Amino acid sequence: MDHIVVVGASAAGLTAAETLRRQGFAGTVTVLGDELHLPYDRPPLSKQILAGAWEPERATLREDAHLQRLRLNLELGCRVAHVSSAARTVTLADGEQLRYDGLIIATGLRPRRLPFGHDLAGVHVLRTLDDALTLRAQLLAGPRVVVVGAGFLGSEIAATARGLGLDVSLVDVESAPLARQVGTWAGGLVADMHRDQGVRLHMGRSVVGFLGDNRVAAVVLDDETRLPADVVVVAIGSVPAVDWLANSGIPAGDGVLCDSTCRAAPGVYAAGDVANWPHLVTGGRGRLEQRANATEQAMAAAKNLLVGPAGAVDYTPIPFGWTDQYDTKIQTYGWCPDGAEVKVVDGDPRDRKFVALHYTDGRVVGALGWNSPRALRQHRGRIAE
């Protein structure tokens, strides 16, 4: 193997490249990224960067000297136009063609958009550093913010905007913020937290339209409520960035469709938000939109690429996710699905400090920690025992 191409230069892509070097791969490593910034980390975008607590450079994943030592062909501002898994080639938008022996796909996600309204000024999504800086400038100019979507990203943006002293409304079709991520029981506590901080919650509601000519003036909900808005942030989830894989011979749908070792085609592996693979311990197939998974799966995919299919190891992580909102840290191991039986095993929800195990069919499938990082870790081993 002489040339490995990594498509995607964010956490998963860079970790894959780093792992190749740490595993002793001495050939050429090309990393292609479609943004112009040096590889940076995304979790701070909705928190420290949006709040203005960090300069943008602080989100950079690895300093320049470290990148130099990795001896990468790091091509930024570069889009892939086509891939052929049969010919093992990647064709860039400018026509340049690269032959690869190994390909690691780590192109992540694109924000899902509403079918209307994104042409209005003041309506934003947040995925990139540029998005975050643009949104920050808008937040500083307008006091009334409506966040559409109360998943991790939307609820963090709401918390950051409140921290900036803005008037914030949070809308979601679910009955509570983070209901899909941590279930309705913990979601109810998240709702209380946002209410205590002065966020107006509109749960169980969907957005049917915007008012305003060139610039958004209000958000209209399905019960005809009108929420006056200077800035709207749409955070209704993401879609895997796989459109560029059309006619490549690499199976794609809800992400890059991999086997249990993260392999999608001969010499082709995927990692991070974009990778869809069967988890052999839980039996489920899917993707994991979690920062820790970007790193862990990139390490696994890079190692499996180098060792080849015969020696490849199944990727069976215990997922880890977290969110920081106001002064609260919520962390999860495993899965906390809605409808799971919840048992508090440490601390007390009334003290806003506890660990809760989540059970499905009598088995521990997830552990949620609320301001309890160290205690939570002690329960990690209970998952998928």
Q: By the criterion CB under 8 A, which residues form the site for another protein?
A: 11, 15, 18-19, 22, 41, 43, 58, 61-62, 291-292, 294-296, 299, 320, 322, 324, 329, 331, 372-374, 376-377, 380
Report the residue number, 39 or 151, with the smaller CB distance to another protein: 39
DSSP state letters, 325-365: ETTEEEEEEE---TT-EEEEEEEEGGGTEEEEEEEETTEEE
Q: Closer to another protein by CB, 47 or 136: give it.
A: 47
Q: How far is the CB of 324 from another protein (least distance, A)?
A: 7
- Closest distance to another protein from the beta carbon of 291 (Å): 5
Q: How far apart are CA 230 and CA 215, in angstroms?
A: 8
State the nearest-atom distance from the C-beta of 206 to another protein, in Å: 32
| Residue placing its CB nearer to another protein in the complex, 264 or 298 | 298
Written as six digits, the tokens of 12 are 């998963």
Q: Rounded to whole angstroms, how far apart are CA atoms 32 and 80?
A: 8
Q: Where are the alpha helices (DSSP H) in 231-344?
A: 291-307
Least separation in angstroms between residue 143's CB and another protein is 29
CB of 38 to another protein, least distance (A): 13
Output 218 or 375, the one with its CB closest to another protein. 375
Phi, psi of 187 (to 5 degrees): -60, -35
Strands across the sheet containing 200-203: 123-124, 231-234, 144-148, 167-172, 200-203
Smallest gap from residue 225 Cβ to another protein (A):
36
Q: Which of 52/251 has CB closer to another protein?
A: 52
Nearer to another protein, 41 or 174 (CB): 41
The one-letter code for the residue type at 75 is E
Which residue, 193 or 229, is less far from another protein as judged by CB? 193
CA dist., res. 247 & res. 211, Å (int): 40
Shortest CA distance to 260 belongs to which of 198, 183, 204, 313? Answer: 313
Nearer to another protein, 254 or 348 (CB): 348
The conformation of residue 60, written as its DSSP 8-state character, comes to: B
Check residue 38 and report its DSSP letter. P
State both tokens at 199: 């966020």
Comparing CB distances to another protein, the nearer of 261 and 295 is 295
Nearer to another protein, 322 or 359 (CB): 322
Long-range CB pairs of 371-377, under 8 A, 24+ apart, other chains included: 371/328, 371/329, 372/331, 372/346, 372/347, 373/329, 373/331, 375/346, 375/347, 376/331, 376/333
Element containing residue 211 per DSSP (H, E): strand 207-211
Please state the φ and ψ torsions of residue 24, each to the nearest 5 degrees. 95, 10
**Bridge partners for 171 per DSSP:** 148, 202
CB atoms closer than 10 angstroms to residue 344:
14
Q: Name the minimum Å distance from CB 57 to another protein.
A: 13
Q: State the nearest-atom distance from the C-beta of 354 to another protein, in Å.
A: 14
| CA-based nearest residue to 254, from 276, 282, 277, 283 | 276
- The least CB distance from residue 244 to another protein, in Å, is 27
Q: Please report how close the Cβ of residue 295 comes to another protein at its closest, in angstroms.
A: 6
